[in-house]
């Protein structure tokens, strides 16, 4: 009846194209009055990184991960035809040409639409990411919180 | 009760093995009287391309994408062990040997079972694909149409 | 009301990180009293292989697949930053450091929690895997059995 519909997306992937798909679905669902959560885990956390480095104390492995992983939504590669960074350039070119919305703006839109952006604490820990390195307005939670949302979800997906 | 069950699959991936999984689930669900939709977006659109080139006016980037992306279901690569095309040959060999159904026939079966095959208009635009290049009998829609189907779906997945 | 909630995961991927995500969600859902099934298909079957070779009669293609695919959960690669096996070493290092649970133990936990681990018979056939090569306590089924579970599922996902 007048029950709120929920959409819950786990964003595991750190690819520009997959993250774009996730945020397009999420923004669409929010426009249709769904309560939407994107739960970022593993490489999906990289979409939430600030684009400039944040000076923090880290162990060696954590420094390595931080260096090797893309810093923020605009730096992500493609799941296909990445060609050492040429593929993402092409995609951004066609996004501009066709007046589509690039990923960083899709994330801003999601925040304006009050989509809940969650970062998985366990995998932040594994990859050595700290709260200060992620965008403002992110929530931090674990798999239990995700499941509590998802078990009443109408649209659940793992991307 | 007698309500029709719905299965909604987003096929984002352009890999032979993943597309095969999507179409096997879809055909199975249709056999169990589900109303089934496969929404093809990004690289998943390549599964719907006709296998011969269609002469069309295109911009430079669109020509490049058209050239680099596989033309039709039979040309897709594997998500694992692709080995520059040797993996797909092996898979097709074992499919034949074990009397399994290759992808192009799975797509035909889907059309015979009246599974709704949808192509995402926004990503067709981005990748420069035009309606004439895709198989007959495809519908064209956007994320809103997908969400309308998915919010009543019993089985929703992103592949 | 007191109806049992169901979580159904298709594990298609044979990547260590994705399998880890699948098993963390599954173990979490079981802890919250969901009835949980993980349906392993294609490369996901490799997570269920015993780690020592099992002497069996096989055709040439089947021997090739058996050789090239990772033998068991501990041998899986990463979906990102695999670096010819260096990535998985790093991940296992940080798992140990942060007292997280490595994949083989996550699978054991799943079995202790009575999560139903299913191997897809059709793709076992394609990849030439035989029952004797997989862990004890696995069930064998096809897409029909998966759909029967999934159509009543609260949380369904394809990983």
Which of A45-54, A136-145, B79-88, B122-131 shows the lowest mean pLDDT across its residues?
B79-88
Contacts of B125 (CB under 8 A, 6+ apart): A98, A100
Contacts of C23 (CB under 8 A, 6+ apart): C38, C103, C106, C107, C109, C110
Whether chain B has a CB inside 8 Å of the CB on C156: the answer is: yes
From B111's Cα to the closest Cα of chain A, the distance in A is: 25
B: neighbours with 3+ CB pairs under 8 Å?
A: A, C
Using a CB-CB distance cutoff of 8 angstroms, which residues of chain B are in contact with residue C125? 98, 100
Cross-strand bridge partners of residue C141: C120
Q: Which residues of chain A have pLDDT under 50?
A: 1
Whether chain A has a CB inside 8 Å of the CB on C3: the answer is: no
Query: What digits encode the pLDDT tens for the residues B138-151?
Result: 999 999 999 999 99
pLDDT of residue A85: 83
C90 with A152: Cβ contact below 8 A:
no
Please provide the DSSP assignment of B15-30 as one string: BHHHHHHHHHHHHHHH
From A22's Cα to the closest Cα of chain B, the distance in A is: 10
Query: What digits encode the pLDDT tens for the residues B16-51?
Result: 999 999 999 999 999 999 999 999 999 999 999 999
Q: Please give the ipTM for the structure prediction.
A: 0.94
Whether chain C has a CB inside 8 Å of the CB on A9: the answer is: no
pLDDT of residue B3: 78
Strand B155-158 with B139-141, pairing: unpaired
pLDDT of residue C3: 78
- Among A60, A123, A128, the strongest candidate for a mutation testing the C interface, having the largest count of C CBs within 10 A, is A123
Check the CA dihedral C39-A151-B34-B47 and report its sign: negative
pLDDT of residue A2: 55
Domains of chain A: 6-158 (3.40.1260.10)
Query: What digits encode the pLDDT tens for the residues C48-95?
Result: 999 998 999 998 889 989 999 999 999 999 998 888 888 899 999 999
Q: How far is CA C41 from CA A31, B66, C121, in A?
A: 35, 31, 8
- A24 with A100: CB under 8 angstroms? no
Query: What digits encode the pLDDT tens for the residues C96-143?
Result: 999 999 999 999 999 999 999 999 999 999 999 999 999 999 999 999
pLDDT of residue A81: 86
Q: How confident is the model at residue B1 (pLDDT cuts 50, 70, 90)?
A: very low
What is the number of alpha carbons within 13 Å of residue A96 lying toward its C-beta? 6
- B38 with B6: CB under 8 angstroms? no
A153 with C154: Cβ contact below 8 A:
yes
CA angle, A36 then A46 then C32, to 5°: 50
Whether chain A has a CB inside 8 Å of the CB on C28: the answer is: yes
The conformation of residue C4, written as its DSSP 8-state character, comes to P
For B43, the closest of A80, A157, A159 (CB atoms) is: A80
Torsion (CA) C21, A138, B41, C7 in degrees, nearest 10: 40
Q: Which residue in A has a C-alpha nearest to residue B145's C-alpha? A: A28
pLDDT of residue A51: 93
- C113 with C37: CB under 8 angstroms? no
Q: How far is CA A88 from CA A66, A77, B136, C79, in A?
A: 21, 6, 31, 19
Query: What digits encode the pLDDT tens for the residues A11-34?
Result: 999 999 999 999 999 999 999 999
C-alpha Rg value of chain B to the nearest Å = 16
Contacts of C144 (CB under 8 A, 6+ apart): B28, B32
d(CA C142, CA C30): 23
- A50 with A80: CB under 8 angstroms? no
Whether chain B has a CB inside 8 Å of the CB on C146: the answer is: yes
d(CA C25, CA A145): 11
Q: What number of other Cβ atoms are within 10 A of residue B89's Cβ? A: 10
d(CA C4, CA A63): 44
A81 with B64: Cβ contact below 8 A:
no
Q: Which residue in B has a C-alpha nearest to residue A154's C-alpha? A: B151
Contacts of B1 (CB under 8 A, 6+ apart): none
Whether chain B has a CB inside 8 Å of the CB on C80: the answer is: no
Q: Is the pLDDT of residue C1 over 80?
A: no
Using a CB-CB distance cutoff of 8 angstroms, which residues of chain C are in contact with residue A153? 154-155
Using a CB-CB distance cutoff of 8 angstroms, which residues of chain C are in contact with residue B28? 143-144, 146-147
Using a CB-CB distance cutoff of 8 angstroms, which residues of chain B are in contact with residue A79? 13, 43
d(CA C135, CA C130): 11
B100 with C146: Cβ contact below 8 A:
no
Chain B stretch 87-106, residues whose beta carbon is closer than 8 A to a beta carbon of chain A: none
Q: Which position has the token pair 């519909």?
A: A5
Q: What number of other Cβ atoms are within 10 A of residue C58's Cβ? A: 15
- C103 with C95: CB under 8 angstroms? no
Q: Which residue in A has a C-alpha nearest to residue B67's C-alpha? A: A81
Contacts of B63 (CB under 8 A, 6+ apart): B128
Q: How confident is the model at residue C158 (pLDDT cuts 50, 70, 90)?
A: very high
Whether chain B has a CB inside 8 Å of the CB on C9: the answer is: no
Check the CA dihedral B106-B111-B116-B118 and report its sign: positive
C155 with A156: Cβ contact below 8 A:
yes
Q: Which residue in C has a C-alpha nearest to residue A64's C-alpha? A: C90
């Amino acid at each position: 009846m007048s029950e709120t519909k929920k959409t819950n997306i786990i964003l595991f992937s750190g690819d520009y194209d997959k993250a774009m798909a996730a945020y397009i679905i999420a923004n669409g669902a929010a426009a249709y009055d769904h309560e939407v959560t994107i739960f970022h885990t593993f490489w999906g956390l990289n979409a939430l990184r600030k684009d400039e480095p944040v000076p923090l104390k880290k162990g060696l492995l954590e420094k390595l991960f931080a260096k090797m992983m893309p810093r923020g939504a605009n730096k992500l590669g493609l799941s296909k035809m990445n060609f050492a960074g040429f593929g993402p350039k092409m995609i951004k070119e066609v996004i501009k040409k066709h007046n589509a919305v690039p990923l960083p703006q899709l994330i801003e839109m999601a925040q304006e639409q009050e989509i809940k952006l969650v970062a998985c604490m366990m995998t932040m820990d594994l990859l050595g990411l700290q709260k200060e390195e992620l965008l403002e307005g992110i929530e931090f939670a674990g798999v239990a919180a995700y499941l509590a949302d998802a078990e009443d979800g109408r649209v659940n997906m793992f991307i």
